[in-house]
Structure 1
């Protein structure tokens, strides 16, 4: 592992990975323009783009990892562009190359539950169904917990599987690619809390009048 920090840098695989992220974001924006009513609020429009982006990442990037990491397969033993992408990520978090059972368990729920739930909430946004706020809180809580269970076992054991010595790998793959699934869910939970609490308080006030 001593040579990992020296060799890990921006590569063609890195460019492929980042291009895929921007492609998913562009696709999400097209969905916003085509599907969400023009009268939708700014917050709902941002939520739509995030949820569509979120679903695409769960289904494509994480779905590919799950396929490469189940039924005896591992990323390190696989070939192809997506395998190469995950091998590069595994240079900074070794568990993703070896089908770590904890990560596999988290990703099963992420791909098979969180991805479809994103799509369901998108359908509620399109219909302007206020019940979406409950499901946004469910989704956001699950994603925050998934992130916690991904990294907390590492922190309490001294980070044996993480290599943070390379600036590119640390700031892009570990920090950026993971913390966006902290800050955005927290923002969505806060917004949905305001909507639910505001509605309940208005109802309570009307009944008490």
Structure 2
């Protein structure tokens, strides 16, 4: 218990509390903006995309600012710097502005974040074209996760600290795994909508030709 207490600091609590707060805001956004007859899939998709956008703009946006303008997290000060120093204890690259990580975060903050907002607008308006953009976004999110960790795994993971459960299961596994599992679910869901519509159109065209 004492070992865990030395690792789970006040910064850990504030950081995880911030993530929970973002999730609550996303949930309230879905209740306020989606129609009451929205399907459960659309409701959960909205919550995820709102959560995704807020994380990209606030948490990851702060990392990008510190890494590009402050040069690196480890020499920066302030609450967001402390939060990222906490995460950098699990993955050292986030503390020293690793160029691969920073390059991926540029795409995430400036690309994926705005795309989340665009899909949210489509969800509110009931635009089925969102399914194409969901697949684009999900592919980018999964690719980003792969390129964050695969190069590290190939050289024996020298920058990853898996010495305690908080770093391994919460920071590295959970906080990165949800950006694989949920985008995969979204891709499958959107594929079924796109494929179902195309097959229905194909069947209708065949019936029209036979008539």
The residue aligned with 1:145 is: 143
1:25 counterpart (23, 26, 30) = 23
The residue aligned with 1:120 is: 118
Q: CA deviation at 1:8?
A: 5.9
Cα contact 1:8–1:166 (8 A) shared by 2: no
Gaps of 5+ in 1: none
Cα contact 2:70–2:76 (8 A) shared by 1: no
2:143 counterpart of 1:136: no
The residue aligned with 1:200 is: 198
1:83 counterpart (81, 84, 103) = 81
Alignment of 1:47-86 (within 5 A): 47-71=45-69, 73-86=71-84
Q: Tell me which stretches of 4 or more aligned residues in structure 1 moved more than 3 Å.
A: 5-8
The residue aligned with 2:38 is: 40
More helix per residue: 2
Deviations 1:14-72 (A, max 9, x none): 11111111110111111111111111100000000000000000000000000000145
Q: Which is bigger in relative contact order (C-alpha 8 A, separation at least 6)?
A: 1
SS of the counterpart of 1:69? helix
Quote the Cα distance in structure 2 between the aligned partners of 1:13 and 1:6: 14
The residue aligned with 1:170 is: 168
Quote the Cα distance in structure 1 between the aligned partners of 2:6 and 2:121: 41
Query: Are residues 173 and 180 of structure 1, via their aligned partners in 2, closer, same or farther at CA, if it must alter by over 3 Å?
Result: same
The residue aligned with 1:104 is: 102
Quote the Cα distance in structure 2 between the aligned partners of 1:91 and 1:8: 13
Relative to the length of structure 2, the TM-score reads 0.95
Relative to the length of structure 1, the TM-score reads 0.95
SS of the counterpart of 1:85? helix
